Chains A and B, each alone.
Chain A
Amino acid sequence: MPSSQTPPIGSTALDPTAARPPIDDAIIERVEPSALHARLSALRAEGYTMLLDLGGVDYLERSPRFDVVYHLLKLPSKIATVAEVGHPERRRVLCGVPADRTVLPTVSDLWKSADWAEREVFDLFGITFEGHADLRRIQMPADWEGYPLRKDYPLRGPARERTPRPAFANKSNVRAGTPPSGRTAQALQRQIALARGQQPPGGEEPK
């Protein structure tokens, strides 16, 4: 029984957050960077005592390019049993960050746990947080150049980007960074022809 939800080949969404199916996992809202701190402050006052997570996404060809996603949870801030906790409300706040101005206000004054999460977003995406007390790299060494989780950063890192991969690891549908090990289809045809003692087709030098 084929799944009606599986999309046909060739349709990829530029903005997945706009194209999402109706799944009830959290109340979702989108804010602008300028309104972010005020909105999150209001939500904190409303009872969202826990900032579950803070993460970044790079939507390369979308404008604004990046999304920083805040997951909030309403938990009682006193001793509570399972019944009192119940089904707490979850909220997801998405904030689009344009590629030409990768700055956001920090929320580490609202929730202290945002400290390292924002450092990680800075380290891996290059988005700076104004007002953060100690914004430095957290996962990569301090002198690392580049922001690894951006989509235009090669998977294997700039130093090894062009070194050959083992032949069995050639994947023609791999995006973001890994070229095949230097053997294009043309080069392969050429090599086969030479091995058979024939004229190599095209006469072009393989890359």
Chain B
Amino acid sequence: MEMIPGQSFLLGKIDEVARWAQSSSVWPLTMGLACCAIEMMTATAPEYDIARFGSEVFRASPRQADLMIVSGRVSQKMGPIIKRLYDQMADPKWVISMGACASSGGVFDNYAIVQGVDTIVPVDVYVPGCPPTPDGLLYAVNLIQQQIRQGGRGGILARA
């Protein structure tokens, strides 16, 4: 645990507990767009089971979700909606860009696809693959959990 000079020991400890609690129950938003969404659903299914990492439920309402997994290709019509959903999520929030299409446009370098969802929302973890195996998505969630525990956004002193 890192002590920031001037920060009280008690608040630091509470912050550590808060980060541990946040990282152990990251609830994703149901943001399934295309093929990656099916692999995201498979990650909740028995063989991969994202619930054992704390993502017990996928919340449909952005107000109740911590993590937005952008799974699939983002079309021109869908871009503003993703931005709106991201804005509606409460702090602290994280974003995983799942798959090649969400990370960079993927196979589709054309007029219809936004070349990377990081042009619209800030992304914390990128997952390569077309689609990535559910193992890849689980590793991404683990990385988010590490990011939460070791610093970055999160904790009771969290800001956007």
Contact = CB atoms under 8 A, between A and B. Distances in A.
Determine whether A and B are in direct contact in the complex, meaning some CB atoms lie less than 8 angstroms apart.
yes
Interface of A: 139-141, 144, 148, 153-157, 160, 165, 169
- Main SS class of interface, B: loop
B111 A141 contact: no
Contacts of A141: 76-77
Contacts, number: 24
B110 A140 contact: no
A160 B116 CA distance: 14
A134 B26 CA distance: 44
A73 B111 CA distance: 34
B109 interface: yes
A183 B77 CA distance: 33
Interface of B: 76-77, 109-112, 115
- Main SS class of interface, A: loop
A165 B110 CA distance: 11
Contacts of A154: 111
B111 A148 contact: yes
A156 B76 CA distance: 12
A186 to B, nearest CB: 25
B109 A165 contact: yes
Contacts of A165: 109
A191 B111 CA distance: 32
Contacts of B112: 139-140, 148, 157
A153 B112 CA distance: 12
Closest A-B pairs by Cβ, 10 of them: A157-B111, A141-B77, A155-B110, A148-B111, A141-B76, A156-B110, A156-B111, A156-B109, A140-B76, A155-B111
